[in-house]
A = this chain, B = another copy of it.
Amino acid sequence: MTSIGIGLIGTGFMGECHALAFRAAPAVFRTRLGARLEMVADIDAGAAQRAADRFGFARATGDWQALVADPKVDLVAITSPNLLHKPMALAALKAGKHVYCEKPLALTAADAAEMAAAAAQAGVTTMVGYNYLRSPAVSFARQLIRDGAIGRVTYFRGVSDEDYMADPAVPMSWRCRRDQAGSGALGDIGSHILSVALALVGPITEVSADQRTVIAERPLPAAGEGRERRDGAAAVTTETATVENEDQTHALLRFADGIIGTVATSRVAWGRKNHLAFEVFGTDGAILFDQERMNELQLHQPGAAPGDRNGFRTVLTGPAHPHYGAFSPAAGHGLGFNDLKVIEVAQLLEAIAGGPAAYPDFAAAAALEKVSEAIGRSATERRWAGVVG
């Protein structure tokens, strides 16, 4: 099997996910193209070496530019903090590499557009890590909608709620700084539900949004704001800093064709761990989904049974649904979060090998950032904002 050389930047939560996914994807999906684990880069060279040892990469480096320049690296996977996505991606594109970048693509829509333009010019394959699009149930929902299984879509209601910053004791981090993270909940987790809205329903043309920072000040962490601890148990100082971006965003949406909807996102929603959920209503049915129960989907079709026997069907995913069969021939056995990254990587490898185009690529992700930018603008100006085409 022909293979391409993988260069992975970043060794945090997402870096580990990518590493595992590159190891597993070719075997699980029998992709035409294999993945050679060439190099890991991390600003902490020791962390890079430990990751290389653990996941079987040939080499490690503390210098991401060396990775990008390495002739054996064909594909650069970027899992660094959001701020660095742009310089890394532009460098990789300039070097003619395929680029796989974690979301959000960039801190601003303008940056994202610049990156998309560079990708177009480079003529390589790009992919952005909106991993929930890979959930078999989400892919199936997309397919159902495309096939008209619920008629014409009339309403989309999407939520992406977590509670990872609900505790006021969770310290200040780069996530709360505008120059390092851009928006708060919106870019971090809200962008996921936007990716679903766009994939399932189509382009968004106008938004009316509002935002709020619930916890205005957070304690400074004892050891600086570098690597965050997602469990919030970090030691803190008695000093505090002002949170610069929002804890909650919500917006009314207008899609093409008069379809309306909402998205809402919060990083302070107590009790929610990964509540990426949506309801899509159509003229002939409805679909409900919650990523916390990612292996099922609720489907209602009014004509599917006599009225007294009808209702939402709890469809358990199985090999009849997208992607699932590569993991197991038995329905109801279930996929997990890491499997979504395996699917994503397999789609990326297939795209590079000449298969279906990767989605969302930089262009699609830049379009999403335009919606995100319009949401921010609408919230600031407190009026409807058009998505700048």
Which A residues are within 8 Å of any B CB, using their own CB? 1, 13, 17, 19-20, 23-24, 27-28, 30, 53-56, 140, 144, 149-150, 154-155, 157, 159, 162-164, 166-168, 208-210, 212, 214-215, 230-231, 247-248, 250-252, 254, 258, 260, 262, 264, 266, 268-275, 281-286, 291-296, 298-302, 304-305, 307-316, 318-321, 327-339, 382-384
Contacts and interface: CB of A to CB of B under 8 A. Distances in A.
A311 B332 CA distance: 11
A338 to B, nearest CB: 6
A16 to B, nearest CB: 8
A307 B262 CA distance: 31
Most chain B CB within a 10 A radius of its CB, from A298, A300, A309, A318: A309
| Number of identical monomers bound together in the oligomeric complex | 4
Given A308-B321, A336-B327, A208 B252 contact: yes
A266 B281 contact: yes
A212 B27 contact: no
Most chain B CB within a 10 A radius of its CB, from A149, A248, A252: A252
Contact of A260 (B144, B167, B248): B248
Contacts of A308: 140, 315, 318, 320-321
B332 A264 contact: no
Ranked 9 nearest A-B pairs via Cβ: A273-B332, A271-B300, A336-B336, A308-B320, A274-B332, A333-B337, A335-B336, A311-B315, A311-B313
Contacts of A56: 27
A259 B260 CA distance: 24
Contacts of A382: 384
B339 A283 contact: no
Contacts of A318: 273, 308
A382 to B, nearest CB: 6
Contacts of A254: 210
A302 B166 contact: yes
Contact of A329 (B230, B311, B336): B230
Given A20-B27, A308-B315, A339-B338, A274 B333 contact: yes
Nearest to A19: B27
Nearest to A159: B157
A53 B30 CA distance: 10
Contact of A268 (B149, B154, B299): B154
Contacts of A330: 13, 164, 230, 273-274, 337
A213 B334 CA distance: 29
Given A273-B332, A300-B270, A27 B13 contact: no
A312 B309 contact: no
A35 to B, nearest CB: 12
Contacts of A337: 327-328, 330, 333-335
A167 to B, nearest CB: 7
Contact of A338 (B13, B231, B327): B327
A164 B333 CA distance: 13
Nearest to A299: B309
B13 A20 contact: no
Given A24-B23, A284-B270, A315 B320 contact: no
